[in-house]
Chains A and B, each alone.
Chain A
Amino acid sequence: MTQPSTEHDRPPLELSEYRDNDTLVLAVSGRIDAVTAKLFETAVLTQVQSSKTPLVLDLDRLKYISSAGLRVILLAAKQQKLKNVKFALCNLHDEVRDVFEISGFAKILDIHPSREAALGV
């Protein structure tokens, strides 16, 4: 996969995976809107549906999220809860944080100020 040379060449949504012991950290970069939500949904729900892996979504580099993205996050949260498996979010900033507050999702999701806190380190 070629590296983009400038900011303009970056795809609108990028997902990176990291392992911390048995927890999977999915770092999200860019924007989750009605168009990019499909890619986000595939990445997250594939993970959630196929395993009992604790999952942390690191939104540090997420600049924008709309209801399309919240829908995926809600689905993932419910499915992880059914399996009694951790699902946490961290590093919500600015407008992303506002969207979680306005929707009421901030109160029902496991949200932390840092990746370390989300991992329970």
Chain B
Amino acid sequence: MNGDRHGKLVIRIPGELSEISRLPALVEDFGLRSGLPAALVATLNLVLEELVANTVTYGYDEDGTRHPDRAIEIRLSRHRDTVTLVVEDDAKPFDPTLREAPDTEAALDDRDAGGLGIHFVRTLMDTVEYCRVADRNRLTMTKTIPT
């Protein structure tokens, strides 16, 4: 299905954990319009959830997962064989690319679940770049569409 090889999705969501429930339908619609394979859509869904959940849970000074006055901006686009995902927020400065990866070889007793979200993002996307611009965190990720 190579009909439309260029597509774009731009959404702004409030900093609320419940917004995670809304994203899959939007991403799947983008995937259909842009001719993306189902596996790639699944990857984007997971990556987006992990990033939004982290921001909402840890990114603001106030506790909790409901920050309706804060916003997260998501930009998804396809150009030829590359999908680009940009996630931007006004949360505290945080560069996920600096996080140490979890030890995925550790035994059960030594494992904890910390850092898994970021690990998925860095493992599943081909490129992950962070910058802090105008008091905002911006994470730009790309993935090449398998032929």
Query: Which positions in A face B, CB cutoff 8 Å?
Result: 12, 33-35, 64, 66-68, 70-71, 74-75, 77-78, 81, 94-95, 99, 102-105, 107-109
Contacts and interface: CB of A to CB of B under 8 A. Distances in A.
A104 B42 contact: no
23 contacts: A33-B20, A34-B17, A34-B20, A34-B49, A35-B18, A35-B21, A64-B42, A64-B45, A66-B46, A66-B117, A74-B112, A78-B108, A78-B109, A81-B108, A95-B42, A99-B46, A102-B119, A102-B120, A103-B119, A103-B120, A104-B103, A108-B106, A108-B111
Interface of B: 17-18, 20-21, 24, 39, 42, 45-46, 49-50, 53, 57, 102-109, 111-113, 116-117, 119-120, 123-124
Contacts, number: 73
A13 to B, nearest CB: 11
Given A67-B50, A71-B113, A95-B39, A104 B104 contact: yes
Q: Chain A binding site: helix, strand, loop or mixed by DSSP?
A: helix
B125 to A, nearest CB: 12
- Give the 10 A-B CB pairs with smallest separation, nearest first: A104-B104, A71-B113, A67-B116, A34-B53, A108-B108, A95-B42, A67-B117, A66-B49, A74-B113, A102-B123
Nearest to B53: A34
A99 B47 CA distance: 11
Q: Which of A33, A34, A71 has the most CB of B within 10 A?
A: A34
Contact of A104 (B17, B50, B111, B124): B111
Contacts of B104: 102-104
B108 A77 contact: yes
A74 B107 CA distance: 11
Contacts of B57: 34
Contact of B20 (A35, A74, A109): A35
